[in-house]
Amino acid sequence: MESSLGISDTRLTDLLLDAVCVVDAEGRFRFVSAAGERIFGYPPQEMVGMAVLDLVLPADRERTRAAAQAVMDGRSHLAFENRYVRKDGSVVHLMWSARWYPSEGIRVGVARDVTQFKRAQAMQAALYAMSEAANASVDLSELFRRSHAIAAGLLPVSALAIVLQEQGQAAPHLAYHAGDPAQEACLLALCDLVWREGGAAVRTDSCASLVGVPLSAGASRLGVLALARACGGEYDAEERELLAYIAGQLGAAVQRRELQSRMKFMAMHDELTRLPNRRLFHDRLQTALARAQRQDSRVALLFIDLNRFKQVNDTHGHLAGDRLLEQVARRLASCIRDADTLARLGGDEFVVLLENIASRADADIVADKIGLALAAPFELGDGLVLAITASIGIACRPEHGDSMQALMARADKDMYRAKHGAAPCAAS
């Protein structure tokens, strides 16, 4: 049959970028235009006689069968989307328009390749979702849970694992796992492989297909993101590309979150000793006093000032002074409970906050422990050994007041009273 231009209809369809397909009532290709080879990967003549459903991705076959039946029942289909498996095994997303011709017993469909559009759409969705997750999550655990939901909405996921390397650690640790617990060991083994080799990896075991991708931000390696897919197919190239994109967004979010955490920590902690600073101590003291007032409980403050510390800096240098402060902080921390607060107010001044004590005697016991802890000489390196003492002032609620200002003023006054007659530091 020829058109009014004297050109055969077959030659006209060969000019189209979309594939024109003619399918018989049994669901087999009777004709495929030249664009079919670009879309399906098969030469058109090879597709003739093949069953349409044999090329459809298994997950899409049932709804494709239903759509085909709807067309044959006389309902034209416009913009129906499904996925086909190309000859090379890759997946192509198609958008169909189709119509049934009962007199000839055929349905004619026009297939448009929308793979790139679907990929861009998925990546845009991932970008928006990850951006929202990064801003809405209060911590990394929530960020990982949200990321898991995002991945599961875009990819087939039966289990997900995330390993992270934190500062000071030689190797990454498991930060998140959810899904089938039987797949955790396989995911962790894959994470270890990806971390060691530095690139994405795919594995298949008896129960799942696994894929792992590096979690990074710029040149910084942060960890690994790994997925497991239950039996029913492997992750294809398109899905692995989408996972890598999600991992890139997650890596950037993790890096921002860690930077924010470090900045917050630095704002609330002493840089040298890593103890709470004056600002954080004031917050904790205010909270402790409010709680003590509600519960009618006791609170004690211990102000600690190293005697003759300036002499250490003047005689042995500030590096020796810094090393001494670091060791003092560690010894002080060993004298208190986990629930208590030890802070550095500045210079050589430290403070201890004790909550829920029975009496002033409990504070005296802690002060005695501190005195004994500081009595042992300090080895500061390069053969330098120093002995130093401390003056301690104590204030208790409710005896010395109910406010932060009253207690701190009393403890400070008591400390300076204790300083009278303090022995000088000695070096050896």
Summarised one tens digit per residue, pLDDT across range 52-82 is: 999 999 989 999 999 999 999 988 777 899 9
Token pair for residue 185?
């060991």
The pLDDT of residue 168 is: 63
Q: Write out pLDDT tens, residues 316-367.
A: 999 999 999 999 999 999 999 999 999 999 999 999 999 999 999 999 999 9
- Which amino acid is present at 207? C
Answer whether residue 265 shows pLDDT above 90: no
39 band by pLDDT with thresholds 50, 70 and 90: very high
- pLDDT higher than 90, residue 230: no
Phi, psi of 352 (to 5 degrees): -120, 135
pLDDT at 12: 64
Could you state, in order of their start, the residue ranges of all structural domains in the chain?
Answer: 9-113, 118-268, 278-419
- β-strand partners of 221: 216
Per-residue model confidence as pLDDT tens digits over 153-184: 888 889 999 999 876 677 789 999 999 888 88
Per-residue pLDDT at 5 exceeds 50 = no
The rounded mean pLDDT for the chain is: 88
> In the prediction, which pLDDT does 11 show?
62
Among residues 348, 350, 339, which one has the least CA distance to residue 318? 348
Q: Which CATH class is domain 278-419?
A: alpha beta
Give the pLDDT band (50/70/90) at residue 7: very low
Q: Which long-range contacts (CB under 8 A, 24 or more apart) does 138-144 make?
A: 139/257, 140/164, 140/175, 140/254, 140/257, 141/176, 143/250, 143/253, 143/254, 143/257, 144/175, 144/176
What pLDDT score was predicted for residue 218? 82
Could you give the percent of the chain with pLDDT greater than 70?
A: 93
8 A C-beta contact, residue 33 and residue 44: yes
The least confident of 119-128, 218-227, 281-290, 402-411 is: 119-128
Closest CA to 175 of 191, 152, 186: 191
Would you say residue 4 has pLDDT above 50?
A: no
| C-beta separation of 164 from 177 below 8 A | no
Indicate the CATH number for domain 9-113: 3.30.450.20
Confidence at 231, pLDDT banded by 50, 70, 90: low
CA-nearest of 212, 125, 122 to 172 is: 212
Check if 118-268 and 278-419 are the same fold: no
Question: Is 10 a residue whose pLDDT tops 80?
Answer: no
**Joined tokens for residue 400:** 């010395």
**Across 299-315, average pLDDT:** 93
Sheet harboring 385-387: ordered strands across?
378-379, 385-387, 426-427
Q: Are the C-beta atoms of 275 and 342 separated by less than 8 Å? A: yes
Task: For residue range 183-225, list pLDDT tens digits in order.
Answer: 889 999 999 999 999 899 988 876 678 999 999 888 888 999 9
Superfamily (CATH) of domain 118-268: GAF domain (3.30.450.40)
**Which pLDDT does position 137 carry in this prediction?**
83
In this structure, are residues 192 and 264 in contact, taking their beta carbons and an 8 Å threshold?
no
Average of per-residue pLDDT across 291-306: 94
For 387-419, what is each residue's pLDDT tens digit? Answer: 999 999 999 999 998 899 999 999 999 999 988
Backbone angles phi, psi at 343, to 5 degrees: -135, 155
Question: How many whole angstroms from its chain centre is CA 293?
Answer: 40
- This prediction has a pTM of 0.59
In the structure encoding, which two tokens stand for residue 68, read together? 């085909």
The C-alpha atoms of residue 225 and residue 380 are separated, in whole angstroms, by: 43
Q: What pLDDT score was predicted for residue 425?
A: 47
Is residue 294 a contact partner of residue 348, using CB atoms and an 8 Å limit?
Answer: no
